[in-house]
């Protein structure tokens, strides 16, 4: 081997780093896409972390008290795959060769559930940073519940300039500082390069000062990126901090490829053959693409025996904890789902009730003592009905609080919740007004992609917001979220249906990522046979509210508009002798999961149909012939006036049906 390139590295570490740097060039070169330079520069950090500090065991990658590692700079995924292979995880040489190829276990950005060591799905910059805050918050809550003997790990996040420029990182960092989260270390890869060129083109922040203002412990490591002893000391010291820690590490993208170092081309362009040849010669490694030394894996597996003993000691502690240990394991296994099976007290049909108020009644009924629930809001807790009884605010003083006050930080709240859910043992609930789901959308998308059991609660669901006007009245939001794969968008028909569906979701260990869409205004409560139909079939996503064997028309709706279709059906029958049937579709995704025969029976497309919903009509053609809705922005006026102005009324449905039937 040539003269050591990495200070303080043992012979095994030196070989490991050189192998990972080589793979970081080979992967993008073979795929003709990818990011070599960042992975090359961070290889020493990765080896120092995985080899000297990280609490992990490649033999059991998912043991519950392992440290969590998040590569927020997900474009450098080849680094994580190289580390996983080198340290003995189930990532083979063939997996590395399939980098960025169809159906491989080494996709272009890390995806949770695909590759060992990947805790969250990263790529959209800054999201991984906020996920890390969520994981540290989940750790704090669980540690307070079960003690440090059972819950005592650390969260490590690697971020870059892009992560810290994105607004989500500002929000999450501010929240973490306010909470004084321990157990969180963020390593800032300060390489001064973005795709466009030097960061100075667009970025002049004093990052250390910014994080100090948030209340973080900030350590500037300077030019220590290739000094393993210095890296080890900083990493270990950060674990003792009583605040979240930012380690600022000046790196040189593309090191040690002299022709590419500190150049923007090293960020997102595969290296050419000559650069790779020269760099491998400097490294003293094989010129063969994807050459790996399997002895390195075997040596690390032996060297990590003491980490394995940490896992075994933890298992012993769990067994010794008796019932507490069993409860903790069940909480993880059930993803923080509610165990309380206390029945809901139904709302009476005489008094209209806003569905947001019904959600609060659900939490009042079944949340007390539920350790897995963590609920919060972006400064709208009272308005959105997400208050947990029997707990206090999460804070630097009340470490066991399960009520999170996120402040006006919707971007950060969403991503923090995804981190909590993927940590395990926690069922996060977070809320804001529906129109501000735009701010939460990146996290919703990653929750859906990750199958994270997060309950996003969005209230004030339509132009019924009224006087706040078009800036606060959601129009396209329902259809926008319904278009997202894996996401269940649930808009209940009344208060009792809200209770049924919300309780079912919170009790479901495998709850899909869900957006629960609730009304600001009071809504009629279904009665008699209609109420029975709702309770029986609403979980199927669609059901017949009222049926008539002589029906000439089907009226379809969701949410508050179900009440309008019921009123319209009554007027048509009494005033015009026209029989109709009413259908509610509270969850399109749930409905699509039903057998085709059931869906046909509910929709009965053999007769004409119309939908009414206080939002965009785009998409309704999937289920009905025509739709009444709002295809423009709203207006500032009392809610009743706005509904009438946009024809969101029973009268509009009656008129539509009569016209279509030639009356």
Chain-centroid distance of CA 113 in Å reads 14
Report the C-alpha gap between 501 and 275 in whole angstroms. Answer: 59
Task: Find the catalytic residue in 13, 119, 166, 410.
Answer: 410
Strand-pair category, 197-198 with 193-194: antiparallel
Residue count of the chain, please give it: 663
Q: Is 370 designated active site?
A: no
User: Taking a C-beta distance cutoff of 8 angstroms, is the pair 71, 189 a contact?
Assistant: no
Output b/e per residue, 549-576; b: 16+ Cβ within 10 A. eebebbbbbbbbbbbbbbbbbebbeeee
CA 368 to chain centroid, in Å, comes to: 25
- DSSP output for 85-122: HHTT-S--HHHHHTTT-TT-SS-SS--TTTSTT--S--
Q: What is the CA radius of gyration of the chain?
A: 28
Selection from 584, 600, 471 nearest residue 536 by Cα: 584
Q: Contact, 107 vs 114, CB < 8 A?
A: yes
Backbone angles phi, psi at 21, to 5 degrees: -60, -45
The CA distance from 495 to 126, in Å, is 37
3-state secondary structure 323-383: HHHHHHHHHHHCCCCCCCCCCCCCCCCCCCECHHHHHHHHHHHHCCCCCCEEEEECCCHHH
Q: How many CB atoms lie within 10 A of CB 617?
A: 17
List of E strands, 191-236: 193-194, 197-198, 217-222
Q: What is the dihedral of CA 73, 75, 76, 77, to 10 degrees?
A: 110
HSE (side-chain half, CA atoms, 13 Å) at 423: 36
Nearest Cα to Cα of residue 76 among 44, 119, 117, 109: 109
For residue 246, give both structure tokens: 């930012």
Task: Tell which residue, 469, 430, 471, 478, has the closest CA to residue 452.
Answer: 430
Chain-centroid distance of CA 609 in Å reads 37
**Residues known to be catalytic:** 410
């Amino acid at each position: 081997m040539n003269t050591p390139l990495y200070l303080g590295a043992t012979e095994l570490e030196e070989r490991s780093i050189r192998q990972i740097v080589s793979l970081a060039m080979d992967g993008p070169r073979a795929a003709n896409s990818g990011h070599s330079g960042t992975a090359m520069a961070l290889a020493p950090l990765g080896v120092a972390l995985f080899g000297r500090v990280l609490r992990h065991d490649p033999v059991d990658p998912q043991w519950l008290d392992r440290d969590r590692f998040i590569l927020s700079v997900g474009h450098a995924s080849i680094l994580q795959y190289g580390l996983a292979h080198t340290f003995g995880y189930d990532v083979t040489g063939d997996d590395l060769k399939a980098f960025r190829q169809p159906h491989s276990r080494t996709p272009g950005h890390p995806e949770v559930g695909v590759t060992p060591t990947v805790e969250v799905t990263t790529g959209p910059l800054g999201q991984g940073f906020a996920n890390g805050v969520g994981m540290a918050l989940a750790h704090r809550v669980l540690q307070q519940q079960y003690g440090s003997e059972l819950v005592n790990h650390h969260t490590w996040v690697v971020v870059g300039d892009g992560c810290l420029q994105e607004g989500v990182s500002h929000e999450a960092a501010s929240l973490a500082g306010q909470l004084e989260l321990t157990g969180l270390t963020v390593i800032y890869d300060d390489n001064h390069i973005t795709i466009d060129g030097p960061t100075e083109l667009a970025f002049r922040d004093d990052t250390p000062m910014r994080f100090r203002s948030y209340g973080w412990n900030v350590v500037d490591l300077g030019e220590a990126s290739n000094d393993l002893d210095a890296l080890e000391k900083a990493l270990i010291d950060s674990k003792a901090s009583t605040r979240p820690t930012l380690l600022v590490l000046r790196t040189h993208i593309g090191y040690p490829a002299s022709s590419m170092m500190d150049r923007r081309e090293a960020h997102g362009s595969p290296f050419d053959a000559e650069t790779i040849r020269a760099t491998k010669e400097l490294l003293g490694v094989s010129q063969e693409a994807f050459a790996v030394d399997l002895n390195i894996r075997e040596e690390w597996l032996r060297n990590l025996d003491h980490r394995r003993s940490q896992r075994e000691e933890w298992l012993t502690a769990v067994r010794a904890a008796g019932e507490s240990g069993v409860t903790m394991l069940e909480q993880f296994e059930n993803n923080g789902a509610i165990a309380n099976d206390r029945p809901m007290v139904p709302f009476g049909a005489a008094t209209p009730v806003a569905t947001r108020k019904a959600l609060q009644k659900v939490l009042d009924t079944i949340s007390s003592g539920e350790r897995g629930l963590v609920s919060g809001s972006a400064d709208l807790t009272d308005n959105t009905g997400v208050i947990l009884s029997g707990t206090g605010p999460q804070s630097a003083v009340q470490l066991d609080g399960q009520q999170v006050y996120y402040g006006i930080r919707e971007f950060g709240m969403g991503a923090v919740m995804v981190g909590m859910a993927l940590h395990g043992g926690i069922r996060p609930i977070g809320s804001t007004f529906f129109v501000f789901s735009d701010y939460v959308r990146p996290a919703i998308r990653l929750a859906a992609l990750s199958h994270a059991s997060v309950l996003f609660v969005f209230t004030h669901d339509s132009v019924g917001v009224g006087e706040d006007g078009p800036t606060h009245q959601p129009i396209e939001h329902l259809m926008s979220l319904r278009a997202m794969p894996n996401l269940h968008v649930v808009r209940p028909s009344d208060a009792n249906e809200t209770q049924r569906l919300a309780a079912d979701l919170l009790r479901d260990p495998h709850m899909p990522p869900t957006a629960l869409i609730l009304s600001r205004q009071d809504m009629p409560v279904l009665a008699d046979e209609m109420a029975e139909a709702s309770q029986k079939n609403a979980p199927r996503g669609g059901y017949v509210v009222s049926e008539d064997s002589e029906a000439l028309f089907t009226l379809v709706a969701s949410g508050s508009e179900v009440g309008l279709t019921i009123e319209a059906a009554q007027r048509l029958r009494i005033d015009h002798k026209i029989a109709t049937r009413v259908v509610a579709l509270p969850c399109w995704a749930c409905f699509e999961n039903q057998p085709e025969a059931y869906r046909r029976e509910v929709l009965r497309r053999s007769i004409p149909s119309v939908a009414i919903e206080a939002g965009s009509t785009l998409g309704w053609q999937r289920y009905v012939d025509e739709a009444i809705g709002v295809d423009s922005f709203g207006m500032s006026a009392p809610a009743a006036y706005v509904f009438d102005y946009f024809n969101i009324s029973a009268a509009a449905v009656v008129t539509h049906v009569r016209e279509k039937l030639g009356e």
